[in-house]
Chains A and B, each alone.
Chain A
Amino acid sequence: MLVAILSLGAIGAVFGIILGFAGKKFAVAVDPRVEALLQIMPGANCGACGLPGCAAFAEAIVAGSVKPSDCAPGGATLYEQIAAIMGTEVSAYEERKVAQLLCQGGYGRTRMLYRYEGIKDCRAALANFKGPKACDFGCVMQGSCFKVCPFGAIEMGADGLPVIDYYRCTACNKCVVECPQQILKLIGVSHLVTVRCLNTEKGKDAKANCSVACIKCKICEKNCPEDAVHVVAAGEGSVAVIDVEKCTNCGICAAKCPTKSIDMISPLSEEVVLEIGTTPDAGCQACGVCKTE
Chain B
Amino acid sequence: MIPQKDLIVVTSAPHLHSPDNVPTAMRDVLIALTPALLAALYFFRLPALLVILVCVISAYAAEIVCLKIMKRESPTRESSAIITGLLLAFCLPPSLPLWMAVLGTLFAIVVAKHLFGGLGQNIFNPALIGRAFLLASFPVAMTNWTNPLDGLTTASPLGIMKEAGGEVLPPLGEIFLGSVSGSIGETSALALLLGGAYLLYRRQIDWRIPGTFLGTVFLLTAVIGGIKGEGLWYPVYHLCAGGLLLGAFFMATDWVTSPVTKLGRILFGIGCGLLVVLIRTKGGYPEGVAYSILLMNVVTPLLDRYTKARVFGRVKSHA
Q: Which residues of A contact B (CB under 8 A)?
A: 107-118, 124, 127-129, 132, 210-211
Instruction: Taking A115-B8, A115-B9 as given, write out 6 further A-B residue pairs in contact, using a Cβ cutoff of 8 Å, ordered by the A residue number.
Output: A108-B3, A111-B1, A113-B10, A117-B10, A118-B12, A129-B10
Question: Is residue B21 within 8 Å, beta carbon to beta carbon, of the partner chain?
Answer: no
Q: Are B1 and A211 in contact (CB under 8 A)?
A: yes
Q: Are B10 and A110 in contact (CB under 8 A)?
A: no
Report B-chain residues with C-beta under 8 Å of the C-beta of A114: 7-10
Q: How far is the CB of B178 from chain A (nearest CB, A)?
A: 49
Report A-chain residues with C-beta under 8 Å of the C-beta of B10: 113-117, 128-129, 132
Q: Are A112 and B3 in contact (CB under 8 A)?
A: yes
Among A108, A118, A124, contact of B2 (Cβ-Cβ < 8 Å):
A108
Report A-chain residues with C-beta under 8 Å of the C-beta of B1: 108-111, 210-211
Query: In the bound complex, how far is the Cα of B7 from the Cα of A111, in angstroms?
Result: 11
Q: Which residues of B contact A (CB under 8 A)?
A: 1-4, 7-12
Report A-chain residues with C-beta under 8 Å of the C-beta of B4: 111-112
Query: In the bound complex, how far is the Cα of B1 from the Cα of A232, in angstroms?
Result: 27
Query: In the bound complex, how far is the Cα of B22 from the Cα of A278, in angstroms?
Result: 51
Q: Give the residue name and chain of the B residue nearest to A160 (CB).
A: B3
Q: How far is the CB of B93 from chain A (nearest CB, A)?
A: 45
Among A107, A117, A210, contact of B3 (Cβ-Cβ < 8 Å):
A107
Query: In the bound complex, how far is the Cα of B81 from the Cα of A88, in angstroms?
Result: 64
Report B-chain residues with C-beta under 8 Å of the C-beta of A127: 12
Q: How far is the CB of A206 from chain B (nearest CB, A)?
A: 13
Query: In the bound complex, how far is the Cα of B10 from the Cα of A129, in angstroms?
Result: 9
Report B-chain residues with C-beta under 8 Å of the C-beta of A117: 9-11
Query: In the bound complex, how far is the Cα of B10 from the Cα of A111, in angstroms?
Result: 15
Q: Are B11 and A112 in contact (CB under 8 A)?
A: no
**B-side binding surface: helix, strand, loop or mixed?**
loop
**A-side binding surface: helix, strand, loop or mixed?**
loop
Q: Are B7 and A112 in contact (CB under 8 A)?
A: yes
Report A-chain residues with C-beta under 8 Å of the C-beta of B11: 116-118, 128
Report B-chain residues with C-beta under 8 Å of the C-beta of A132: 10
A-B contact pairs, 28 of them (CB 8 A): A107-B3, A108-B2, A108-B3, A109-B1, A112-B7, A113-B7, A113-B10, A114-B7, A114-B8, A114-B9, A114-B10, A115-B7, A115-B8, A115-B9, A116-B9, A116-B10, A116-B11, A117-B9, A117-B11, A118-B12, A124-B12, A127-B12, A128-B10, A128-B11, A129-B10, A132-B10, A210-B1, A211-B1
Q: Give the residue name and chain of the A residue nearest to B2 (CB).
A: A108
Query: In the bound complex, how far is the Cα of B8 from the Cα of A132, in angstroms?
Result: 11
Query: In the bound complex, how far is the Cα of B281 from the Cα of A288, in angstroms?
Result: 49
Report A-chain residues with C-beta under 8 Å of the C-beta of B3: 107-108, 112
Query: In the bound complex, how far is the Cα of B11 from the Cα of A118, in angstroms?
Result: 6
Report A-chain residues with C-beta under 8 Å of the C-beta of B7: 112-115
Q: How far is the CB of A144 from chain B (nearest CB, A)?
A: 16
Q: Give the residue name and chain of the B residue nearest to A116 (CB).
A: B10
Query: In the bound complex, how far is the Cα of B264 from the Cα of A168, in angstroms?
Result: 46
Q: Give the residue name and chain of the A residue nearest to B4 (CB).
A: A112
Q: Give the residue name and chain of the A residue nearest to B7 (CB).
A: A115
Report A-chain residues with C-beta under 8 Å of the C-beta of B8: 114-115
Q: Give the residue name and chain of the A residue nearest to B6 (CB).
A: A115
Report A-chain residues with C-beta under 8 Å of the C-beta of B12: 118, 124, 127-128
Report B-chain residues with C-beta under 8 Å of the C-beta of A211: 1
Query: In the bound complex, how far is the Cα of B4 from the Cα of A111, in angstroms?
Result: 8
Report B-chain residues with C-beta under 8 Å of the C-beta of A111: 1, 4
Report A-chain residues with C-beta under 8 Å of the C-beta of B2: 108
What 9 A-B pairs are tightest by C-beta distance, nearest first?
A114-B10, A117-B11, A115-B7, A118-B11, A128-B10, A115-B9, A114-B7, A211-B1, A118-B12
Q: How far is the CB of A127 from chain B (nearest CB, A)?
A: 8
Query: In the bound complex, how far is the Cα of B10 from the Cα of A115, in angstroms?
Result: 6
Query: In the bound complex, how far is the Cα of B4 from the Cα of A117, in angstroms?
Result: 16
Report B-chain residues with C-beta under 8 Å of the C-beta of A118: 11-12
Query: In the bound complex, how far is the Cα of B145 from the Cα of A3, in angstroms?
Result: 64
Query: In the bound complex, how far is the Cα of B9 from the Cα of A114, in angstroms?
Result: 6
Report B-chain residues with C-beta under 8 Å of the C-beta of A116: 9-11
Query: In the bound complex, how far is the Cα of B2 from the Cα of A35, in angstroms?
Result: 58
Q: How far is the CB of B235 from chain A (nearest CB, A)?
A: 49
Query: In the bound complex, how far is the Cα of B95 from the Cα of A5, in angstroms?
Result: 66
Query: In the bound complex, how far is the Cα of B22 from the Cα of A72, in angstroms?
Result: 46
Query: In the bound complex, how far is the Cα of B3 from the Cα of A216, in angstroms?
Result: 24
Most buried by B among A115, A117, A128, A132: A115
Query: In the bound complex, how far is the Cα of B214 from the Cα of A246, in angstroms?
Result: 81
Query: In the bound complex, how far is the Cα of B1 from the Cα of A210, in angstroms?
Result: 8
Q: How far is the CB of A159 from chain B (nearest CB, A)?
A: 10
Q: How far is the CB of A139 from chain B (nearest CB, A)?
A: 15
Q: Give the residue name and chain of the B residue nearest to A129 (CB).
A: B10
Q: How far is the CB of B71 from chain A (nearest CB, A)?
A: 16
Q: Give the residue name and chain of the B residue nearest to A128 (CB).
A: B10
Most buried by A among B4, B8, B9, B12: B12
Q: How far is the CB of B8 from chain A (nearest CB, A)?
A: 5
Query: In the bound complex, how far is the Cα of B3 from the Cα of A210, in angstroms?
Result: 11
Report A-chain residues with C-beta under 8 Å of the C-beta of B9: 114-117
Query: In the bound complex, how far is the Cα of B3 from the Cα of A112, in angstroms?
Result: 7
Q: Give the residue name and chain of the B residue nearest to A119 (CB).
A: B12
